[in-house]
Structure 1
Amino acid sequence: MTTTVKQVLEIKGAHAHAVTPNATVLEALTQMAERDIGAVLVLQESSLVGIFTERDYARKVALKGLSSKDALIKDLMTPNVCTITPSHTIDEVMSIMTQNRFRHLPVVDHGKICGIITIGDVVKSVIAEHEATIQHLSSYISGDIAS
């Protein structure tokens, strides 16, 4: 059985944290620290206009010596965000993340944000699938289930 993004979001929850383009980096970092997350979506009204991640902070703020109190998200976010849909499989998501070196992918369905999938969510899902397969095979081999 192949797990879909929709199934992962049903377990994880569909909430995605967001800031506006005019928020400061400090505001975004505070929200990320309080929620123990590695990225926030950037929304203009209800439209996704970017994503701001720990990697953006490290490469675009810290290394350039900018001030987190003064720098605005709109100047440092990653625009043109790659998104996925609830119908994507975890295998497809893993491929997208690996090819593009993404750790976070917003989930969008018909223009509406449904959540965010992280590399950790993908790993947990793959492990759960493997554990289920192992359990099934163990039961089959020991004769606990019919062929």
Structure 2
Amino acid sequence: MKTVSVILKEKGQGVWSISPKSTVFEAVKSMSEKEVGALMVLDEQDMVAGIITERDYARKVILKGKRSESTLVEEIMTPIDKMYTVKPELTVEDAMVLITAKRVRHLPVFENNQLTGIISIGDLVKAKIAEQEMLIEQLSNYIAGRYA
């Protein structure tokens, strides 16, 4: 079974981040420019303070009538103690169960208390599709007699 660490190797382990003192407007602009749905929030010591997502923006700014130019990231982010995180050895299937059960779209990946990457629901779906395509190819080859 494929693991989270394999997904990170395939997609790269780069993580985009922002300061908790930045405005939500800056965060949304950064997400748009980088074509991502979440940013890790890092404090002055580059320690993970939380995560901010497009959903946070929609639910905690837009629907509450707040202004993104004057609302700080720290006001709407999900703090580290409330984030759902995973370890690199977690299987894709278990990550999918967690993302579905907790109704989140992004899972930061930690190893030895260090942020090593972030996976999204899209990353998990791509991994599952690739696995299914490989299985279909193997079965087709078997049926066609290409495997002994």
Determine if the TM-score, normalized by the shorter chain, exceeds 0.5: yes
- Bigger mean CA offset, 121-130 vs 40-49: 40-49
Aligned residue identity for 2:101? Q
Q: Please state whether the residue corresponding to 2:123 is helix, strand or coil.
A: helix
Q: Which residue of 2 aligns with 1:141?
A: 143
Cα distance in 2 for partners of 1:15, 1:109 equals 15
Q: Which residue of 1 aligns with 2:115?
A: 113
The correspondence of residues 40-59 of structure 1 with structure 2, limited to 5 A, is 40-44=39-43, 45-59=45-59
CA contact under 8 A between 1:49 and 1:81: conserved in structure 2? no
Q: Please state whether the residue corresponding to 1:115 is helix, strand or coil.
A: strand
- Bigger mean CA offset, 43-52 vs 54-63: 43-52
Aligned residue identity for 2:19? T
Q: Which residue of 2 aligns with 1:90?
A: 92
Cα distance in 1 for partners of 2:100, 2:31 equals 23
Aligned residues: 145
Which 5+ residue runs of structure 2 have no aligned equivalent?
Answer: none
Q: Please state whether the residue corresponding to 1:71 is helix, strand or coil.
A: coil
Q: Please state whether the residue corresponding to 2:78 is helix, strand or coil.
A: coil
Q: Please state whether the residue corresponding to 2:13 is helix, strand or coil.
A: coil
Which 5+ residue runs of structure 1 have no aligned equivalent?
Answer: none
Cα RMSD (Å) of the superposition? 0.8
How far residue 102 of structure 1 moved from its aligned partner, in angstroms, is 0.8
**Which segments of structure 1 move beyond 2 Å, counting only runs of 4 or more?**
none
How far residue 21 of structure 1 moved from its aligned partner, in angstroms, is 1.1
- Bigger mean CA offset, 38-47 vs 93-102: 38-47
The correspondence of residues 1-147 of structure 1 with structure 2, limited to 5 A, is 2-44=1-43, 45-79=45-79, 80-146=82-148
How far residue 46 of structure 1 moved from its aligned partner, in angstroms, is 2.6
TM-score by length of 2: 0.95
